[in-house]
Amino acid sequence: MLKTMPLGIGELKSLHTLSSDIGLKLTELKNLQNLHGKVCIDGLGNVENSADAREANFSRKRFSELVLDWGDEFNVLRTKSLEKEILNELMPYNGTLEKLRISLYRGVEFPNWVGDPSYRRLTIVSIESCEESTSLPMLGQLPSLKELFIGGMSKVKVVGMVFLGTDLAFPSLEILEFDSMSGWEEWSTKSGAFPCLQELCIEDCPNLVRVSLEALPSLRVLKLRKCGHGVLKSLVDIALSITKLEIDDISGLTDEEWRGMIGCLGAVEEIKISECNEIRYLWESEAEASKLLMNLKMLELRKCENLVSLGEKDKEDNCGSSLTSFSWLGVWNCNSLEHCSCPDSMETLDIWDCDSITSVSFPTGGGQKLKSLVIWDCKKLSEKELGGKEKTRFLIKSKMQMLEFVFIANWPNLKSISELSCFIHLNRLCISECPGMESFPDHELPNLTSLTELTIKKCTSMDASFPRGLWPPKLCRLEIGELKKPISEWGPQNFPTSLSHLTLYGGPYDDVKNFAQLSHLLPSSLTSLGIDRFEKLDSVSTGLQHLTSLQHLFICNCPKTLNE
């Protein structure tokens, strides 16, 4: 693969296009009069004078996409005014340019052509890591601009009228992103600006405090990261139609500040909150949430270290029915979360690595709409049993007959699973790393007529016998092993003919030394076979002859097979 352009490329005077993102040197373009399409120019930091840039004749080249990169190396004797002169001489032909990226430019300001409204076909602009620039170019008058990214400009303090221009500002812009603007303090606009803006993203702008914007009627997606809570409030107040809100590491965002904003989020369908460590409760009660967040469908919470529960006054026996549209909840690494009480409308529930959670419940209707459940690494979760009668308070009840996917891992307190036969829609079931689980209703597996994928592994107390013939009739993928009874002591298994992928896990008590000892567990229908953690296995040359359809064989953590 080419990393640099071959020598003599500049002598190919009839060359029209370069199907490559490899950077060209400015001197290589002098004779390429017919070049068009996408072109990347790098090393502009070493151009000695503006005359060299002028000789490249950019104004005559019909580029559709142009990347101008100053690079990490540059001539230290160059002045800031020379930087601007060079960029000015690189002005491309305005009739064909559709995409423009300027990277690592070291000028204090931009020449007038950057943002000139004569570039009527320009739809995407990116200005990156221009750390010496103290202001942004006037981009607001580009008539067709749809996507704009500005990042790595720490000396810009104010974004205002110069950025917008005199007429209607950003008439076609749909996506706007600001990133790594550490010196940015103030942002203001005028009436009518950004009429088509649909997505706004501001990241790593910690000093932005004064935001004076007019209404953003078309905004649907708002993403903020490493900003102050005042920025969030200012934007939420003027963007009443957003349907997706993502916030990450918002300083000063307390319970009170957050609750003061949710009254403006009536149209929001998705909320993602990460590393907002001052929030303890998202709402006072579920009744309040259902009134203010009436369209909320999806809520994702990550690394909110002080979050205790969703509602401050919610109780297990009086919530669950108000949030009728709320159907997806994901919680990751919220290590103060103690209880999660879910509404009846919930269809997907994911809880990962929450060290303090002790209970998860569906107090009112039993989660009759639940289709997907993931519980991973919740070591203090107190429920002892999955399944059970309707009157029990166990996590999964027999009413949850719509379940399609269940994934349980690293849950030490889990002791048993019961009444699987009622889950007729279940197609994927995984139970892993639950050392306290003692019993599993393997005799009910034939009743799971929709189950195609089953994983049961690293449950060292499980005393399931898995008697011959009792497997789901449509099972396609099975991962099993590291249970109380070593696989070497299992009898023959009458697997369904649909089984094509099988992975067997051994352990310290398995004395399997060759594949012949496992052949009774290997149906001829297999196309993929995995063998993991059989520490005494030293021969793989026998016991596989009957696997005439086998295409993939994986052997992991079997140290003695390396010497065969």
pLDDT digits (tens, 9 = 90+) for 477-499: 999 999 988 888 888 888 999 99
Contact 27/53 with Cβ under 8 angstroms? no
Nearest residue to 445 via CA among 478, 415, 414, 412: 478
Predicted local distance difference test score (pLDDT) of residue 413: 87
Predicted local distance difference test score (pLDDT) of residue 3: 39
Predicted local distance difference test score (pLDDT) of residue 91: 93
CA–CA gap between residue 103 and residue 126 (Å, rounded): 8
CA–CA gap between residue 136 and residue 109 (Å, rounded): 7
Q: Where do we find the tokens 């002598």?
A: 11
pLDDT digits (tens, 9 = 90+) for 90-122: 999 999 999 999 999 999 999 999 999 999 999
Average pLDDT for residues 11-33, to the nearest whole number?
Answer: 54
CA–CA gap between residue 348 and residue 320 (Å, rounded): 14
Backbone torsion region of residue 321, taken as left when φ is above 0, otherwise alpha when ψ lies between -120 and 50, otherwise beta: alpha
What is each CA distance from 232 to 226, 330, 512, in whole angstroms? 11, 22, 61
Nearest residue to 528 via CA among 473, 564, 478: 478
CA–CA gap between residue 508 and residue 370 (Å, rounded): 38
509 pLDDT band, cuts 50/70/90, is: confident
To 10 degrees, the CA torsion angle through 330, 332, 336, 340? 20
Predicted local distance difference test score (pLDDT) of residue 22: 43
Nearest residue to 469 via CA among 506, 399, 425, 523: 523
State the DSSP H helix or E strand holding residue 300, giving kind and residue range, or none if neither.
strand 298-302
Contact 368/401 with Cβ under 8 angstroms? yes
170 pLDDT band, cuts 50/70/90, is: very high
pLDDT digits (tens, 9 = 90+) for 317-363: 444 456 788 899 999 999 999 888 888 888 999 999 998 998 887 76
pTM of structure: 0.88
CA–CA gap between residue 149 and residue 346 (Å, rounded): 37
Predicted local distance difference test score (pLDDT) of residue 429: 96
pLDDT digits (tens, 9 = 90+) for 307-321: 998 888 765 544 445
pLDDT at residue 385 above 60?
no
pLDDT at residue 144 above 70?
yes
Predicted local distance difference test score (pLDDT) of residue 321: 55
SS3 content of the chain, % helix, strand, coil (to 5): 15, 25, 60
pLDDT digits (tens, 9 = 90+) for 34-71: 666 888 888 888 888 888 888 878 888 888 999 999 98
Predicted local distance difference test score (pLDDT) of residue 365: 60
pLDDT at residue 392 above 50?
no
